[in-house]
């Protein structure tokens, strides 16, 4: 299952009443930057992300370190990060002290990774009390830093639309501010030293969240995946590593971090590869419109019909339907709807956000019922 | 050393006996004097006795560098050298996919080579951002960084010396003595730079490796 927060097993304690109120109220009042639905090529690119992996010099990497070492890392990072201008305001949350519900909310908002939220570091011995934290900026949650994830610091900056250069510029500046207060593990030969050698060098991953329904409907999505693999790019799902694509949303990112500068990587991905993929998707959409317009309109309006009237909706089905409607909005074949509203709905229908909105813990069947109700209400208001 | 002649340097040659004993010669010196080419072939012991190759008077530095580079550990424990800083072995890394600490990159340098090669399409050197502290290095950086800088500089120099020595051997073989003399000059310049500069002594000793 690719949805991050569908409670099962250890995550069954996800209840909106279980947290201690440490999460700021603003978190639910505003949409996050990645859902804004604007920016360059926003018809195809939901968001752009620059992620930087860093470790502290002279410290054991996270999976090898004892809890006492990790607490020292947290302390060292806390002061630096809270004054690193991650936003108008900065928030710091100790995840090892947070309830599962709260961690799951952060995951659904793309502020933390799945294993960071769940307290699992791959197959390692870490448990949920492994000392770790996330710092992020408000109000738009554009910048976030996970402390004691696979690396001591995982900084991400997200921008709406195709804006990898802007995301990198901001991440680079924050990285400089952090570095002025902390010593990074760095080798002139190998660059920034990371727990996994696949990140060594720049420690940077650029990724974009793409919406590719046109290519999927045209049966060309596998071609894109193969081409991406040939260019050493990774294709992942909506919630990153280990998740599957649902609703035709795919994350595309660089895999090589050694031997290419950040500028070279940007030049390849932002200036060469992505414009081609975007154009490819747009052409597929236009072909659908010109050759199979009625089928396409039917598909889009059926999706709207289901979303407006269904009484039970699973998260995966909802995402697929919203994806089809989003395509219709981008191609102007349905009126009265807009992409930012659809994006907010995509977040709202996630299991934990849904329970947060309803204000109580829900079983799987109840969630389907409540999800359908919330979607109906939202569509009625659009 | 020959007096009054121009030594074009030492190079490696195969299957020639030492001029002083019957051991295999591993050091070969070619001298041009008054247009005459004089070749001397010696084994390592005789070369040291005659002063053509001086024995390393203080190998400690080199040993330390080898330890720092994980080479000694790799030689003595070929299966799975442990990082001396955190104790992580290569076998453990293979299992978890994660190294134990920044020093592991040095301790497991040889084993990580093919992995880095595969993951990064053959790239072996970082290109890109460098911490500002590093750029304005004033000597207060932590030990690992200092050593890494020294190692990186030494590695680059040693590689250049290796290449020049190979070129010199080829030139002498081809009896292109003018070219050989030029290469020798560059080699000497580089070695002098190394002697006055940093991290001398990591280049391989001729005939001893």
Residue pLDDT, tens place only, B111-147: 999 999 888 988 888 988 998 876 654 444 444 455 4
User: Which single residue is written with the structure tokens 């890109």?
Assistant: B128
Q: Is B142 on the interface with A (CB under 8 A)?
A: yes
CB spacing of A260 vs B101 below 8 angstroms: no
Lowest model confidence (mean pLDDT) among A9-13, A132-136, A223-227, B104-108: A9-13
Residues in chain A with CB shorter than 8 Å from the CB of B145 are 57, 183, 186-187
Q: Is the pLDDT of residue B33 over 80?
A: no
Q: Is A201 on the interface with B (CB under 8 A)?
A: yes
Residue of B87, B99, B159 to mutate when probing chain A, most A C-beta within 10 A: B99
Q: Is B133 on the interface with A (CB under 8 A)?
A: yes
Q: Is the pLDDT of residue B88 over 70?
A: yes
Residue of B114, B126, B151 to mutate when probing chain A, most A C-beta within 10 A: B126
Residues in chain B with CB shorter than 8 Å from the CB of A264 are 127-128
Residue of A120, A176, A258, A261 to mutate when probing chain B, most B C-beta within 10 A: A258
Query: What CA–CA distance (Å, rounded) separates A48 from A58?
Result: 33
Residues in chain A with CB shorter than 8 Å from the CB of B199 are none
For B166-171, the CB contacts below 8 A with 24+ separation are B168/B8, B168/B9, B168/B11, B169/B11, B169/B12, B169/B13
CB spacing of A179 vs B133 below 8 angstroms: yes
Specify whether the CB–CB gap between A259 and B125 falls below 8 A: yes
Pick the residue with more confidence: A14 or B170? B170
Q: What is the mean pLDDT of chain A?
A: 88
CB spacing of B120 vs A259 below 8 angstroms: yes
By Cβ distance, the residue of A186, A198, A204 closest to B145 is A186
Give me the torsion for CA of A211, A214, A220, A222, rounded to 10°: 20
Query: What CA–CA distance (Å, rounded) separates B179 from B175?
Result: 9
Residue pLDDT, tens place only, A305-356: 999 999 999 999 999 999 999 999 999 998 889 999 999 999 999 999 999 9
By Cβ distance, the residue of B96, B119, B152 closest to A188 is B152
Q: Could you write out the DSSP letters of every residue in A164-182?
A: HHHHHHHHHHHHHHHHTTS
CB spacing of B149 vs A188 below 8 angstroms: yes
Query: What CA–CA distance (Å, rounded) separates B108 from B70?
Result: 6
- The pLDDT value recorded for residue A335 is 86
CB spacing of B152 vs A264 below 8 angstroms: no
User: Which single residue is written with the structure tokens 């890392």?
Assistant: A73
Q: Please state, as a whole number, how many other Cβ atoms lie within 10 Å of the Cβ of residue B82.
A: 19
Q: Is A286 on the interface with B (CB under 8 A)?
A: no
User: CA of B61, closest CA in chain A: separation in Å?
Assistant: 21
Q: Is the pLDDT of residue A22 over 60?
A: no
CB spacing of A200 vs B116 below 8 angstroms: yes
Residue pLDDT, tens place only, A219-273: 998 898 888 888 889 888 776 655 556 779 999 999 999 999 999 999 999 999 9
The pTM (predicted TM-score) of the whole model is 0.71
């Amino acid at each position: 299952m690719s949805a991050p927060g569908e409670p099962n097993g250890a995550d069954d304690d996800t209840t909106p009443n279980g947290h201690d109120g440490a999460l700021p109220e603003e978190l639910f009042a505003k949409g996050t930057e990645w859902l804004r639905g604007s920016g360059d090529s926003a018809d195809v690119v939901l968001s752009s992300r620059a992620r930087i992996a860093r470790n502290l010099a002279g410290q054991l990497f996270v999976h090898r370190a004892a809890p006492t070492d990790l607490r020292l890392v947290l302390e060292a990072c806390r002061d630096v990060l809270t004054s690193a201008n991650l936003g108008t305001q900065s928030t710091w949350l100790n995840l090892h002290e947070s309830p599962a519900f709260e961690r799951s909310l952060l995951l659904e908002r793309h502020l933390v990774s799945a294993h960071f939220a769940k307290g699992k570091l791959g197959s390692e011995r870490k448990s949920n009390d492994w000392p770790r934290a996330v710092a992020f900026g408000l109000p738009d949650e554009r910048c976030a830093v996970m402390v004691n994830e696979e690396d001591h610091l995982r900084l991400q900056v997200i921008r709406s639309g195709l804006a990898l250069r802007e995301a990198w510029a901001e991440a680079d500046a924050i990285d400089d501010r952090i570095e002025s207060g902390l010593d990074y593990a760095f080798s002139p030969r190998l660059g920034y030293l990371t727990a996994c050698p696949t990140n060594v060098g720049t420690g940077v991953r650029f990724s974009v969240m793409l919406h590719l329904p046109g290519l999927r409907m045209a049966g060309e999505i596998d071609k894109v995946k193969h081409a991406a693999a040939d260019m050493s790019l990774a294709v992942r799902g909506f919630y990153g590593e280990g998740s599957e694509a649902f609703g035709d949303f795919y994350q595309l990112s660089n895999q090589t971090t050694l031997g290419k500068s950040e500028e070279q990587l940007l030049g390849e991905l932002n200036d060469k590869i992505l414009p081609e993929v975007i154009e490819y998707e747009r052409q597929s959409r236009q072909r659908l419109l010109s050759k199979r317009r009625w089928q396409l309109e039917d598909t889009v309006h059926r999706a709207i019909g289901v979303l407006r009237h269904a009484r039970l909706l699973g998260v995966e089905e909802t995402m697929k339907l919203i994806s089809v409607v989003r395509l219709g909005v981008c191609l102007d074949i349905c009126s009265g709807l807009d992409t930012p509203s659809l994006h907010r709905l995509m977040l709202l229908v996630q299991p934990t956000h849904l329970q947060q909105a309803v204000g109580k813990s829900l079983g799987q069947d109840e969630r389907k019922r409540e999800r359908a109700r919330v979607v109906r209400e939202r569509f009625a208001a659009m | 050393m020959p007096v009054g002649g121009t030594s074009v340097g030492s190079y490696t040659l195969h299957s020639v006996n030492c001029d002083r004993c019957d051991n295999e010669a591993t050091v070969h010196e070619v001298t041009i004097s008054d247009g005459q080419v004089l070749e001397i072939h010696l084994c390592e012991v005789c070369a040291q006795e005659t002063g053509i190759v001086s024995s390393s008077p203080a190998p400690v530095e080199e040993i330390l560098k080898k330890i720092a580079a994980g080479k000694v550990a790799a030689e003595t424990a070929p299966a799975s050298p442990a990082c001396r800083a955190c104790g992580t072995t290569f076998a453990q890394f293979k299992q978890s996919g994660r190294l134990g600490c920044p020093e592991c990159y040095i301790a497991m340098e040889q084993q990580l080579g093919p992995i880095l090669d595969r993951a990064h399409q053959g790239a072996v050197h970082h290109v890109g951002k460098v911490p500002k502290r590093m750029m304005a290095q004033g000597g207060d950086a932590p030990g690992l960084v200092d050593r890494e800088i020294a190692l990186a500089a030494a590695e680059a120099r040693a590689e250049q010396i290796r290449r020049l020595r190979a070129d010199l051997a080829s030139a002498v073989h081809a009896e292109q003595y003018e070219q050989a003399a030029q290469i020798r000059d560059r080699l000497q310049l580089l070695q002098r730079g190394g002697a006055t500069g940093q991290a001398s002594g990591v280049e391989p000793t001729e005939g001893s490796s």
